[in-house]
Each structure stands twice: as structure tokens, then as C-alpha cells.
Structure 1
């Protein structure tokens, strides 16, 4: 009490010197300081609880409506996010809007959106290898430390907190703030009070195993809920006389709810969180207030981020249930206005960065600075454009070499600039991958292939790669390939591969409508490539293909003989790919044009020329998608050998026929498809139907629309971590029908 009276006396003297008296004509800041010294200091403790934390926003709305001045805020996990946004000057309505605008499904994955990947990375989809892959480092196989590194989530936090990014002391925010994390090495609470605010918030909600830990000041930090999920003690230490604690943590599971090992793990984690929460609640005094929004009654879980509006409303109602108690903490409208004036909003006072004085790369990787810089369209002298900056980060991250790429604004002697920090994958940039492919048309046999790949990168100065791919099963492959960009922007490239491949070809008698023979072909050879990437959407390349091979008759008339062949051809290839998903797209287009010239002078057994054109596009609305496509192929002189014939048949390529049942010198196919998404969970499931019209021909004068075969299919599909999974019924002209089960590329 003596200290408080001394403060009042000092303020009174200062006010008298300025205006004669505090109560008449005194500056608002002095009045607010005097009033703050007279009233109890109020601290707000916001607990963690995932998506349930949106309820904190509803509580903040009520506190503002009742004009309750908040002097301190401490938050854990989701509470740290809401607390930081509010402490940095955002209103409850602005926070609510931000939570609802975030695409949480997108944020909680590190995968670069497909339409933002390099063209090289898009081609990986054709290999049907599992995208989650262990790394290779120091001769060992290593795994990531978490399911999600948090690349996109970090950028969301950075953008939301950008106006206060240069505030390093959290006491200098509009409201003094603390984020609570846990030291993974000791299990002890770590209270973050200074540094990078976005990084502190990110550390506070780094759920172990789910989100990657954050290194700060030599400590590896994870979610604060492990040590102090409801940081009452923290706001008390900050100076709070009265604590308003909001507990939105998830309750423990009942015995009936524990049905798997995941339930057991969740319950064990819940014990840690619940126990420390209860200890904090026990420290509350009669002057404090505990608000527990009844989120369980609405069935809102920690993962229901799309229900933030409901959670906010529940939090608001829960706070209003304590109106009588809270009202006693409120101040008059004039006093509240002075409180706000004494706590200026740094978001409103922050001057925009008109021009960047410097743009620097903080490179913690084996990738050259030049390769990283080439992905950015941001230069010194440019205005700060967060969209352009994040676009460059997305391109650099899409190269596939980095664990995380972020940025921060820095001020140096009055000059403002941006520092981009690139962190190499701690588990290794090189990788191992595996894949599984299954194709069966019940009653007509099945194909099974097991694949794997080893990719060594960076290969060369411009982050190329050396990949070796193996496939064992019905179709065998062993190919080792080098991809070598010629410039840091990876616009021009050379490459090549060497390997063995085997495939099954069928000869088809169009007149008799029956298969004449089956050939098992194999080849050993090499390809050389030179090309240009067209941003992320396309590619042009020239390829020389040289190989030796043989074709063995496995089914056919006795007079058919095995034969050897040589391949020597040049190909000019152009491709575009803007699909957002290779097998289940909702937008974009996919196309290619190939001009192939086989010549004896290039080492081939025979001369022939071919043209192959593919194009498909998709449009969608909500859960509905319509997709259409055309494939046209022709051999100009109709003299292509068996191993170079065009093949048709199978799911989506005249459904009802066996895969590659038809072959010929010419091919035409039209396809239309409707697809409907059945769910919103992590593994999307679809139902759909297709209509197809096409055929193959051996002579150009036989090509007629009336000879085209009409086919269709009905299917169920799922986009699984192992690849696309299809179950389909197909029928061609009422004669040929099949039920397909496919895992991996269906066509």
C-alpha cells in the first residue's frame, strides 16, 4: 500500500506541474496511470486446447463490452495465438475473422500446392511413390521429427503478426504478453517474454510429434501444455492482482472412448495437461475468476477448426454467465477510453515499409545462395509485398530440399529490410521412397508391381538430382537418371537416364475383333535430354533415345517368331500441367504434344514418324467436378513396329476392356468424367462415372467415327497415402465388361 501511495503522490505532483491538478485538464496518460495505480491489475490466462481456443475470442468480446482493462496476458498453445493477436492490437472481431479465413486443412500440411511445384516435382506423381519419405544423411536412414514441420503455419503467424514484427520486448506490445512453451529436454516450463513474437507463439503450440519443435536460445521447445496449459502463475508473476483464467482444454477420455493405441496416447498426453491445469486452478483465489466454456456440450473437439464461429459464440455466452462478477472489474467509459489511449495500438502506429533497403538470404543448407535467390522476385528498393515474398518462399520450398523457409523484417540504423532464412532438412535432402501398384480386372488376370527409388540431391551447383528407380513385378524397370539444371533458376536443363524396361504388347485384329498375339518386350538403353522449363506450368525438351531390345511371343500362332530390335529416335516434347491434383483435379489442365522420329541413321531398326497429342481439363463447383479429355495419335507412314504401337483399353481408356487390349498405328479417344466428393476427411473419397469413345486402327483409311467404340464406367475412388485407389465397373458397347480394382496409376 505504501508503494501505491508513493506512486500516486508522484503522479499527482507531475500532473500539478503540467496542468495544476490531475482531475482538471490532466493528460489522458497521467489520468490513466493514476487510475491504473488505484485499481487492481488484471491478468488474463488463456489455456491451450486446439480449435477450442476460438472460445477465447468470445471471452475477449465480453471483457471489452464490460470495459474491463486487461493489464497482462499469458497464453499457452492456441491461447498463445489468441493472446498474441489481442496483445498486439487486433480486436476480437478481427481475430475472429482471421481464424475463419485461415484454410486450416491447408495450413496443417507441409505439402506445396501442386500448382506451385516445379514441373520436375509434378512429374513425380507419375511414379506413384509414397510422398512421405525418409531421408538419407551421413550414411543413415533418418525420419523427420514430426508429422508437420509447420512451414505454412509459420507463414500465417508471420503475416498476422507482421505489424509488430520488430517488437522484440513483449512488454512493449499494447498489452504485456507471455507465451508458454516446454523444454523438451527437461520437461520444464519456458516463459517467452522477448524475441521473435511469431516464433514464440509457434513454439508454444508445437504439439510433440505432430508439429516440429522450435529452437530458441539454445533450447528445443514444444507445446506449453506439457508443462503449464493454463498459465495462471505466469500472469501472477507479471504483476496481476486478479486473474481471469479461461480453460478450454480437452477433458480426459472415458473408458469407452479409449478404443485404440491412438486413444491410449491421447489419454496419456491428456494426463500431463490436465494435471498441470488442475494445479493452476487450485492456485486461484476468491478474487480470481475461472471461465470454462461448455464446448463439450456442442461436441467441439481440438481439431474442429472449421467450427470457430460456434466456439466463439460459446465462449461469449460462458463469459456473459459471469457478468455480475466481471462487471465489478469494469471501469467507466471515460476511464476505459483513457486506458486505451495509454496503451496505443502498435498496429496503427507502425509506419509501413515503403522500400526494402536490403534483402538477404540466411542460408543454412548445402543449396547455393544463387538457387534460393532465383526463386524470389523481391529486390532491394522494392516495396514490401508479402504476397510476392510468400510466393518466392513457396517456389523455394517447392524445390523439395528444405525443412523450413521463413522470413523476418529487420531494422538497422533506420533502414528496413527482409531476411529470408532457409533451413535444410535435418533428416537429409537425399531420400528413399517406396510404392505399390496393383491392377486387377476380375477374371482376366492382375498386375502387381513393387517400386522403390533412391534420390541423391543436391547434385551439382544448381541443385540437380540423381535418382535410381526400381520396379519389380509384371512390368520390370531399373533406371538410373540424372537431372541437371544449367542455371540457378533451373530454367534450362540437361539430363539422361540409363536402364532396363520390360512391357507387354498385344497385336489386335480389328476386322476379327480379337487379339492375335502377345509380345513380352524388353529394352536396355539410354536417353539424353535437353530442355527448358516454362515456369511451373510447362516444359519443352528434345530427347534422343537409343536402346537395344527383344520381343518374345508369349501368346500367338506358331508361325509368329521372336525378334530383336534397335531403338534410335529423336523426340520433341511439349507439356503443360496446371492440375491441382494429378488424379483427382478440381481445376487446371494437362496436355502434351510429342513429335517422334525414328531413323536407321540414329541406330533404329526401322524408320517411322509419329505424332501424339493429349489434352484434358477440369472444372468444379463445390463437391462436383467435370473433366474432359482427348487423345489423338498417328503413325505417319503406318510402319511402326510392334514395340512402338499405340495401345488402348482399360479403365477410362475404353472401360470394360482389358488394359492395353487394343493396339494400332492410329488411336483416337474422347473422354468425359463426372466426379463427386463424398467426404471432408483427410482421405478424400469420390464417386463418379465416365463416358468414353475411341478405338485403334492400323490403316488411316479405316479411321471412321462409326468404328469408334462407346464405353463407360461407374467408380468409387479414394486419394490414399499409398496412391489413388479405384473400384470400378466398366462396359464397352455391352459386349466387354470388367470390374477393376486398382491401386496406383489407373491409366
Structure 2
């Protein structure tokens, strides 16, 4: 009897753990929805404040990203900082990838509207819009310290995400994949990204087949499910004139509709934040999305608390794992996804030899160098911990067809319609080599072939042979025109400037987007249709500056090109520097000279610099200036500087300088300067308003000896600077930028309207 009484007291003092502590596990299911998925952060904030435990997380697409980051320790406050302190639209558009490309890679193929991959002589269609280089790099940074985990159920909070198998169309739970790779696969929107390749299988966005992965949370052991659904509902769809994109995107929506209904039946409490009135791509509205998620969660909180309390689930403050170390000691570097030769190129471009101390910034810089070769459509990295130390693994996806057949189209108010045809071939010579052929048809003409090679030692060498042609408007200087009773704003002659050029370059990169070295150039310059004599001495005995001629010039010197702008059109940050300093020998005949044997020595110095300064998220300022100086008594016409107009004659860059509000080529001389300040505002996504003030002039039209020969006429050649300005509306479109502007100046006070459409080439 005493034994039974003692046993009863023992069970009374130490109850069965199953009755003292709930075995219930709370799972959180987060749906996809692009920018709408940012509402999940607001839901997490409310659950954290209420002490609702999250034992399991599952998610699809953007819900997978939010859930995966929460599974490794990101709180709602951490996630809010991530989405508000970064411009997510850049990561989902690959615009940041431009600055990752080597400078010569950006210049190759410039201006093309369509670039078809070529496999030999057979064109291929691209598999998607973007490979996702920037979003992959972003996910690798955010998941630093957890790259080695390939079983997502072993994360600090067990996690599951889904993707759509491209071959079967079925929802697939991603188990044997690293976290950044799984998140990238789950958000492979077919209208944005190419399919993700995991272990030889291609995957599309998980939301296409299972936008609310509740069964995955159940399979991880969750007994209570809280779901957050920001996906499109059937009642939200109202089409009047649907676009092709609407049809394609909602075809996949209807495919997942039945599965989503089955998943909702597994969820105990479903939260639906308000999604109306905001764009599905409106990442800039992150604070609003978060607030909507918080509002919906607070409305559902009484039901959540009642359910949790009824099941005996204890409230608790979330216990997050310690932050991973900022640096890791890497003992080896491996390259996956390429043959031995291509892997050697990637390893050389990576330029980090083990052992080294790896940080996020250091690894990203190395990955950018590999991606910048232009040989790979995607470059990612992982750092895996082993017993001996950490190993860095580069995963590269070589361009399936690195050759490109390109076509460009442009029309503007100054040079009318321009057509461009290009063929670009990349090979593995040295570190990487590029051969490009270009044919330009229109008022500005070009036929050229060039080859550039980047070697293992970091040096770059190249050569280009080309024929270029451009029309040149010649105006009388204002004072001289007035003395003759001629309208200074009307050209007295248009000549055709032709250039046959051979250019060689040898240099090396000097930082991201910068190339510096030595250049040698041989030119054969022709001036055609030049019949007017616009400048003569008083007795008319001197020659004409515009006489038909063929001039040979051989020059060499220093060349520096730097481009760190975030976009080619409407940039908001970064800058440009172009320096060209050369000295040469000219066989051109002098126009006027008091010397019997004038010197053949000519020189040229050209400097252009600009800087884009972001003021706010939507406002920026550009400050830029150009200086030009050419000397010599035998200068060919191609060495003169022309200013005026809104569009540069890109076939002869540097010699033709735009000046808004001034007629094209209104002034020319041996020296010039221009300066401009532009204020830019982004009114809506891809819509810009600009206001520009600019000034400039040319001077030193003649040499000292020539001025002596012309005496009184030279007084009228000294012109004051012209001040002008313009207001412009710009639009980014799939066919290239569209610009519409109204400009005026002191030289031509009547406002003029101009426009341009298409890429600059």
C-alpha cells in the first residue's frame, strides 16, 4: 500500500511531459506575389510582438525569399531594412549588371535593339529575358553563412520551398539544394528570368504550380498552419483588352488555381492582406506593403491567439541564431559547370588565390570579374565549411551561344533614320577575346571590324579597321556673317567628312569600368563636295578651308576611358571620363600659312568628364564638361571641333559636341569647350523629366600665321560663349529610349523642338 501511495505521489510531482508541454508545432505558409509578398514582413512583425512561435516555414516565390531569410534568423525588422535600404527593382532587372561588365564588353554590340544568339550559322531564340545575375548575387549575400546547408529542413527554422518542374509542370519541393539556389529557382518568373538549373533539371517560378505550399509545411511536422495569401484571386481579374503578357501570366495562374484551393483547406487561419491599388512590381512601395500586411495580421490576431491558447502552445520571444561570421578562411577554390579551359579562365578572372580570408564584398568583387568577361550568362558562388576549412565554389553557366547577330534602329530630328547591323563573336583566346563587325547605314555611315583580347596577365590589346562618314554643316562666324549680310544660323555649305582609320590599343583595366593605355591611329581623311570658299583674304588669293582633299595623319598617345554609370540612358549615379592625348604627323596641306615649309607636327588633347549625383530616390543632378584643343599648321578637318545640336555624330566621337539650343555644328575651331548642368526627375517608372543649362564655344579657328594673313577678318572670328538650355521628357521603352525636348539659346532664341528614338550607336 505504501508502495502504491509513493508511486502516486511521484506521478503527481512529475507529470507526463506530453501533458505539461504541447507537442503542437506552428507552421507559417507564405504565398508568392512579387512585390505583394513584401506584406509578409508586416505579418511577421505582428506574430513576433504577440509571441506566436514559428516552428516551420514554407513559401513560394517571394514568399519563399521572405520565409527562407526568416528561417536563418532575419527578424521582421531585419527584413524591413533589407527591402527599404535596397532598390529591389535593380536586382530584379539586372540593370546593376551593366557595371559588372568589362568596359570593352559594354562597348561591343552597343546600340543593338535585337541580338540573336548564334550557334554557328544558326540563330537561336533566347530562353528568357534575364539570367538573374544580380538577384543571385543578392541572395548569396543575404544567405551568407548558410551556403553549406543543402537540407533546408536543417536550417535554424525548418524551411521548405517549391518550384515548377519545366518538363512536367508539377510543383516540386526543393530539398537537396543550397538556400540561395532554392530561392532563385522558386522565383524564376518566365516573363522575367530564364529557368533555373538545379542538378540538371530546369525549374520555373513555384507560384505557377503551387503558390501556397501548405502541404510542404505539414510534411515538416507542422500541426497548426497560419497562411498568408497575397496571390491573385479570380475576383481580382477583369480584362477589357488583355495584352499578350496578361494572357500568358494568367494562363499559369489558372493552372495553379485548383492546387491553391486544396492548399487553403490545409490551413487553419488564412490572412489576406489588401493588394488593390498597388503595382505587382511596385517594390518602391515596400513600406505600404508592409503596413498592409501588419493591418491584416492584427485583424486576424485574436483568432490566432485563441487557437494557440486552446492548444496549450506557449507564447515565447523568438530565439534567433547568432549572426554568421563576417569572414571565413578559404583554403581552396573550385569551379563547377565548365570544362577545364573555361574553368581556368573563370579562375583567372576571379583573381583570388587560396588561401585567403573571404568576405561578402571580396567574393562579390571576384564574381563580378568573372561575369564581366562576357563569357558566362550566370556566375554564382557558395562557401562550404569542411573539417579542414572553408571551400569556395564558383558555379558558372557559359553562354550557350556566345556569338550574337544584332540589329539596331534609330531615328532622330538631326540625322533621320539610322540602321545598324552587327556580328559579335566571343572566343576563349587569352582570358577572353571579342571580334565585332559593324555596318551602319544612314547619314552617319560606318563599316568596321575590330578585335580585342584580354590576356591572362591583365593586359588588353585590340585593333580596329573602319570606314566612317558624317555630314558636316559649315556656318560663318556671327560677326563675319553680319559683315557680309548673311544669316549666321543658316549653314553656307554641307560637306561630307570621310575617314578611313586603323586604330591599335594596348593597355589594362584601372578599376571597374576603366581602361587606360596607349593608342596608335592612322587616318586617311577626305572632305567631299566642298565647293564654297567661306574664308578668304581681302584679295581672295588664299585657299579655302573646305577644299576637297585627302589628308593622311599618323598619331599616337595616351587613352583613358572610364564608365561607371548605373545605366546607359537616364543614369542617376556614376560617371564618365574620356581622355585622349596624342601627337602625330600630318601630310595635310595647310590652308593659309606664311611659312614656306610649315611643320607636319600636329597634336590633340580631348577631355570629357561627367558625374551623376543622386539627390533623392527620384531626383539626380548631372554635371559635365568637355575641353578640346588641336594644334598644328597642317590640321585635317577631322581634327577640328564642332559644337551644336542635340545628338553627337557617334561615328567620330569627341570631335562633334552637342550643345542644346544651338544649330548642329554651328561653330567649329581648333579648340572648344562645353559645360552642362542637368536636373533629372523620375516621374514614374521609366518616365523622366529633365532640365538642362549648357554653354560652350569654339576658338582658335586659325593659326597665328593664318590670322596674320587675314588681318581685319580675324576680329570677327572671336565669338563669345553661347548659353542655351532645354526641357526634355524621356521614356525607357523595350525599343530603346525616347526623348522629346524643346531647346533655345542666345544664338537662336526661337525655341526649337527635337526628338530621338532608339539606342545610341
Scaled by the length of structure 1, the TM-score of the pair is 0.84
Match of 1:160 among 142, 145, 162: 142
Match of 1:79 among 47, 63, 69: 63
Partner of 2:456: 488
Q: Deviations over 1:30-69 (max 9, x none)?
A: 96x8756x44343332221222222223333333444333
Residue 94 (1) aligns with residue 78 (2) = yes
Partner of 1:271: 254
Residue 306 (1) aligns with residue 284 (2) = yes
Partner of 1:466: 435
- Offset at 1:457? 0.3
* Number of residue equivalences: 703
CA distance in 2 between partners of 1:512 and 1:432 (Å): 50
Partner of 1:497: 464
Residue 733 (1) aligns with residue 746 (2) = yes
CA distance in 2 between partners of 1:220 and 1:569 (Å): 55
Residue 220 (1) aligns with residue 232 (2) = no
Match of 1:409 among 362, 383, 395: 383
Contact 2:37 2:230 in 1 (8 A): yes
Match of 2:507 among 531, 542, 550: 531
Residue 325 (1) aligns with residue 303 (2) = yes
Q: Deviations over 1:257-306 (max 9, x none)?
A: 6543333333323322333212322455xxx222222333xx23432222
Residue 201 (1) aligns with residue 169 (2) = no
- Offset at 1:349? 8.0
Match of 1:707 among 719, 724, 737: 719
Contact 1:484 1:495 in 2 (8 A): yes
CA distance in 2 between partners of 1:723 and 1:612 (Å): 33
Partner of 1:143: 125
CA distance in 2 between partners of 1:222 and 1:610 (Å): 58
- Offset at 1:197? 1.9
Contact 1:228 1:276 in 2 (8 A): yes
**Correspondence list, 1:36-51, <5 A:** 38-51=22-35
CA distance in 2 between partners of 1:693 and 1:175 (Å): 64
Match of 1:568 among 553, 573, 576: 553
Say what the alpha-carbon RMSD is for the aligned residues.
3.6
**Correspondence list, 1:381-392, <5 A:** 381-392=355-366
CA distance in 2 between partners of 1:264 and 1:166 (Å): 40
Scaled by the length of structure 2, the TM-score of the pair is 0.83
Unpaired segments ≥5 residues, structure 2: 1-6, 482-487, 535-542, 591-597, 647-656, 705-713
Residue 432 (1) aligns with residue 400 (2) = no
CA distance in 2 between partners of 1:114 and 1:450 (Å): 24
Partner of 1:551: 527
Contact 1:616 1:627 in 2 (8 A): no
Partner of 1:9: none
Cα 1:631–1:610 change in 2 (3 A) is farther
Match of 1:423 among 387, 390, 397: 397
Residue 655 (1) aligns with residue 660 (2) = yes
Partner of 2:651: none
- Offset at 1:699? 2.2
- Offset at 1:624? 4.1
Partner of 1:5: none
Partner of 1:11: none
CA distance in 1 between partners of 2:252 and 2:639 (Å): 59
Contact 1:177 1:193 in 2 (8 A): no
Partner of 1:186: 168
Partner of 1:4: none
The SS at the match of 1:679 is strand
Contact 1:653 1:692 in 2 (8 A): no
- Offset at 1:562? 6.6
Contact 1:546 1:603 in 2 (8 A): no
Q: Deviations over 1:345-368 (max 9, x none)?
A: 5x4286676411222233526864
Partner of 2:711: none
